[in-house]
Amino acid sequence: MSLLRQKEYPKGEFTLAFLGYGPESENPALELTYNWGKDSYEVGTGFGHIAINVEDVYKAVEMAKSKGAQVIREAGPMSAGTTIVGFLKDPDGYEIELLSKKF
């Protein structure tokens, strides 16, 4: 596994790193988030959410809503950037981020 790409978000005070085994257009990638200024995380509470790339976030959120999914953030641009994202909650309460498929 190697670092595929990294992006800093000064406005949001975080960095995203994407790890994988090949091009993201052909392989899954693991997204890691580093929150600036956070000294440590308590073990067991560091999981935030899982993210899935989709072709059209707006359509994916609407489809999820039509199937009864709980939407916790409507589709729209990130506050710290321009990537389109939306958030859902699964039946167990875990968050799922849908984000625009651009690399």
- 24 with 56, same domain: the answer is no
User: pLDDT confidence of 93, banded at 50, 70, 90?
Assistant: confident
Question: Which of residues 92 and 77 earns the better pLDDT score?
Answer: 77
42 and 76 co-located in one domain: no
Query: Is 95 in the active site?
Result: no
Helix (H) or strand (E) holding 15: strand 14-20
What CATH number should be reported for the domain holding residue 75?
A: 3.10.180.10
Per the CB < 8 A criterion, the answer to whether 86 and 78 are in contact is no
Answer yes or no: pTM beyond 0.75: no
Pairing of strands 84-89, 29-35: unpaired
Helices and strands (H and E) in the chain: how many: 1, 7
2-11 residue pLDDT tens: 999 999 999 9
In terms of domains, do 64 and 39 share one?
Answer: no
The domain total for the chain is 2
| Marked catalytic residue, from 13, 26, 74, 97 | 97
**Whether residue 41 is found in the same domain as residue 58:** no
Asked whether residue 41 falls in the same domain as residue 83, the answer is no
**Same domain membership, residue 94 and residue 55:** yes
